[in-house]
Structure 1
């Protein structure tokens, strides 16, 4: 095998060797044992800001004296006969890191000095990209680095959706999550990934509304070096390249431009894409979960969204109801956020029934996101912040000034007990008689609720929780 390899290399032409060296990302520079310049690839010519025709009539000492470099690691290697490292500035003001290695003959004399160099800024950019790859790789390998997704779903409709997502997660089909902003679509996407066969692989998300249209293609598919002004000199991989084997979540997919939509359609249909400015077709094995709060069918009619992309995304559609249509989830989520923020802010706030009633009566236009912010505000300040709109309850009829005052029908204590009984009955009805859930809804301990149930002789379903 080694002999075949040598024969194959022996048939490479000078032009082919030259092409190989010119396609190296680094600057390649070669001198003889006296420092006479024998070779410089295209990158080295650019770094030295000098053509090879001029370079081959100089040695490294003349190169330095002429101001093309401030230091010569080649000269250091010739003097020491050892590998030499140096950083110099070229006449463009760029910092160049160089490594020169002497090649000795059988008698210990230097025949060649081979120098490889790179711009310091390019090295730092490569290091940053390497750190990014390393971080993603660690996330893919280490289960503890992947946050576990816990769903809060007490409403029957939401429970059905969660069961559907468990089934959908086992497939490789594209899932489209629709619903108002703030309904938890990104959390549900994480839940799908967590229950899929790709749970140990990369999970990358992008908010399509937050990326300018002119940069979306390079964000998704990457770009080659020099693809556009301001691009990384070494190029950059895109999300589909980085997430290969894993899952991509495209949030606000309805905000994509028509051009970006056509590029996305291609990778969904064929699994193939090209970097911006590239010629090489790459393959991507990626499961896509998309989400939007826009009416994509209406956008199709208005020629703002591609119908073929819509049907490619909408293999498994899931519509997430707004929080106002999930009354049981309001109390459950409020308790969940109360626990989270009590721990975060070192508080011990509770949810009295009156406050919980106020939360349930509000329509929550901002959905779960607004409820989360409201609960954190409450934990920090101890007061329920003013909500964006009045609770959807009719105002009481004003009492005419001339109306005669009648004797109360019952005492204040009786009025309180009647109200308490009605609240407990409503909570038990909403939770199907489950005492533990009803206690959470009412903001009291389960044992307290049992006593009141016995007091008012109310029907309930036994709870066996701890």
Structure 2
């Protein structure tokens, strides 16, 4: 530069009231002007060389526009939430490319929102756009992460509807109860709900209520004051509730929680307060509670083993994760998912034959997805062949009842009765797991009028 030196240009940019933020495509901050520092309530030294994705996780601003610019390389504008102050900034992003057309810089400029900038109507419109962008970014983040999302894999209507319910629940600030058998992936759904919620960049803390001894549970969950009891640390201890502050506390196996501790969880949900061991004043807690169980809590309530008031506080929103035997058509997809995952983990290049897949589909999978994952991994590791056939499978899989995942019928009798029993079971299953008879008829590929006649014939409950 000749007439305008670099230092002069930077001084000019520092006089602009709009914030200017420049990053590399990997998110590394390379320059910010003074206005941007003022908007973000951070010094230039605190921002330079920091990664915007890390700053987003820390809650400095939400969302990062850099990720969106790289996904959709055109100018984009949205509202950015600034820290925990409640202030917002209207920001626009621009992608600058090098001579080869590859991304070189992401330039963001923004201004704090106030009533002088945008009317209430315009604000609501822009806010709606922001929410859409945030949702897209979260879904992309989940899709690109390498963590285990096996419970979400599938095309069966049961699992697709469960995923849809989880996505709706994610946007609501209320307690969630996830039910389902052992191994269906209740923890995966809890994590999925958290990552689609407004708390996605805050902690997700999982507590196994059945794994912590009753004598230690209270101090583990709520922490304790120094010297609170014999053997206590002189420094005291932070509880898991405090660790989860601002995020989600996932109480797995909630049905195992002793009655003596249930009232304390009730207080945490109801009053948003808790009492660390050894202290006399309660503390406030900003956490969302998600609980999961493989037990029948209603039965436990009737047996006086679970508090009814806690049950109703937990069960504000609920989803049921179906067992694998109710979605046998997804077994092939899940086997492929796990095969790809473990091939990558162990640098294998192995696959299952069609006959082996048939054996997988004939097995009832009492341990559900967790068992399926274990069998696929063990078989891939132990087999000496690239192509894995029936002979490589564990004996219990090879010897599975071929009708284990099919509707049960009588041991003997006329063919007509067999066929009617099969038809009844299929119709009953479809009606049970759909919202309307029209939806059930579509799945069964029969007219709704025909379905209604058969429901009457077999004396089934209709929608």
TM range (shorter): 0.5 to 0.7
Say yes or no: does 1:168 pair with 2:169: yes
Q: Do the aligned partners of residues 238 and 339 (structure 1) sit closer, same or farther apart at CA in structure 2, a change above 3 Å counting?
A: same
8 Å CA contact retained: 2:248, 2:288: yes
* 3-state secondary structure, aligned to 1:245: coil
Deviation at 1:139, TM superposition (A): 11
C-alpha separation between the residues in 2 aligned to 1:194 and 1:387? 37
Match of 1:387 in 2: 396
Match of 2:240 in 1: 239
8 Å CA contact retained: 2:359, 2:398: no
Deviation at 1:214, TM superposition (A): 1.0
C-alpha separation between the residues in 1 aligned to 2:146 and 2:225? 33
C-alpha separation between the residues in 1 aligned to 2:352 and 2:259? 48
Match of 1:156 in 2: 157
8 Å CA contact retained: 2:262, 2:310: yes
* 3-state secondary structure, aligned to 1:380: helix
C-alpha separation between the residues in 1 aligned to 2:179 and 2:57? 28
Matches within 5 A, 1:58-69: none
Deviation at 1:212, TM superposition (A): 0.3
Match of 1:205 in 2: 206
C-alpha separation between the residues in 2 aligned to 1:393 and 1:153? 22
C-alpha separation between the residues in 1 aligned to 2:313 and 2:398? 39
Q: Do the aligned partners of residues 201 and 387 (structure 1) sit closer, same or farther apart at CA in structure 2, a change above 3 Å counting?
A: same
Match of 2:293 in 1: 292
Q: Do the aligned partners of residues 357 and 164 (structure 1) sit closer, same or farther apart at CA in structure 2, a change above 3 Å counting?
A: same
Matches within 5 A, 1:316-335: 316-335=317-336
Matches within 5 A, 1:109-124: none
Match of 1:219 in 2: 220
Aligned length: 259
* 3-state secondary structure, aligned to 1:290: strand
C-alpha separation between the residues in 1 aligned to 2:358 and 2:298? 37
Match of 2:186 in 1: 185
In structure 1, stretches of 5+ residues that fail to align are 1-136, 396-466
8 Å CA contact retained: 1:198, 1:246: yes
Cα deviation 1:373-427 (Å, max 9, x = unaligned): 00001111222122379422379xxxxxxxxxxxxxxxxxxxxxxxxxxxxxxxx
Say yes or no: does 1:354 pair with 2:355: yes
Structure 1 stretches of 4+ with a deviation exceeding 6 A read 142-147
* 3-state secondary structure, aligned to 1:358: helix
* 3-state secondary structure, aligned to 1:387: helix
Match of 1:272 in 2: 273
* 3-state secondary structure, aligned to 1:180: coil
8 Å CA contact retained: 2:180, 2:321: yes
C-alpha separation between the residues in 2 aligned to 1:197 and 1:307? 29
Match of 2:58 in 1: 141
Match of 1:252 in 2: 253
C-alpha separation between the residues in 1 aligned to 2:365 and 2:403? 17
8 Å CA contact retained: 1:149, 1:190: no
Deviation at 1:328, TM superposition (A): 2.0
In our comparison, the structure showing a higher alpha carbon Rg is 1
8 Å CA contact retained: 2:363, 2:402: no
* 3-state secondary structure, aligned to 1:205: strand
Deviation at 1:140, TM superposition (A): 5.0
* 3-state secondary structure, aligned to 1:334: helix
Match of 1:339 in 2: 340
Matches within 5 A, 1:32-43: none
